[in-house]
Amino acid sequence: MREWLAEVDRWLERFRDEAQPPEPFARALTDGWRDGEREALAESAQTLERESAAYVEQLRASGVDLVRFDCKSGSCSVCVRYCGKAYSLAEDGDLPPPPPMPICPACRHVLNMLTPFFMQRTGVTLDDLLDEAEPFRD
């Protein structure tokens, strides 16, 4: 488990040079943290980390291998590069493993199953996913 208060501080510094940092970092950079906001952000990220880990374990136990990293609008410049990319939950998968969830404390992205039915209906092949793969780099 990550130490989320330290992560919030690290990401605040990282976003200092961003033209459009995500909320609440944008506000913290201009006005400072409001009462309890930093702690609430860290707690929320920690909860998402636990929930995401449990979900990934559930997917693995069900035999699911392929997932897609999906983002909400307004994702930060770090997270957005992984939006829509496919990842493998298998130890020896052809695709890279998914990024840590969450990547940053502000964004609320999710991993969704990539089922054969979805891939067939959208005309996506494993080769397409491999061509667009984006391994996580911190």
> Cα dist. 15→8, 18, 25, 36, 57 in Å?
10, 5, 7, 20, 31
Please say if the pLDDT value at position 91 is more than 90: no
What percent of the chain clears pLDDT 90, i.e. is strictly above it? Answer: 91
Q: Where do the domains of the chain lie?
A: 4-131
The average pLDDT across 124-133 equals 93
Say which residues have a Cβ less than 8 Å from residue 53's Cβ, sequence separation at least 6: 101
Rounded to 5 degrees, what angle do the CA atoms 110, 114, 117 make?
A: 140
Question: How confident is the prediction for the chain on average, in pLDDT?
Answer: 94
pTM: 0.90
